Amino acid sequence: MARKHDEFTFLDVLYRVCDALCEGESREFTRDNGVTRFRRDKDNVFFVEGPFVAVSLSLPSVRVSMNGISDQDGKPLEVDKDDIAGLTGRLINLDYEMVQAKVLPAA
């Protein structure tokens, strides 16, 4: 299914946030609500798991690529822009300074 223009924008930001937070092949963040883990595969697809994914998308983990979001088995998910924005916002809060430096435009 072809994505709409605004879906590209929201997915692009989510992908860049995952890239900034992962900082290599893998990284994890521990917070009061649990551990959020990022893993990057050789194709630059991010496997993201943890409480922020569960709250935002009702799944324990997802794969984020420039082509879309899929479940842990690679099945494409229909995710609307509000859900993508919610997940992105939660992930940004894991390390705002890192995301600001790598993703957000300079003011």
pLDDT average per 10 residues of sequence, the chain (107 residues) = 57 94 92 94 95 95 95 92 94 93 74
In this prediction, residue 8 carries a pLDDT of: 60
Q: What is the pLDDT of residue 20?
A: 94
Query: Rounded CA gap, 61 and 38, in Å?
Result: 10
Give the contacts of 27 (CB within 8 A, at least 6 positions apart). Answer: 21, 37, 38
Q: CB-hemisphere CA count at 13 Å for 35?
A: 5
Token pair belonging to 2: 């072809």
User: How far from 28 is each of 38, 51, 70, 71, CA to CA, in Å?
Assistant: 6, 12, 20, 19
pTM: 0.87
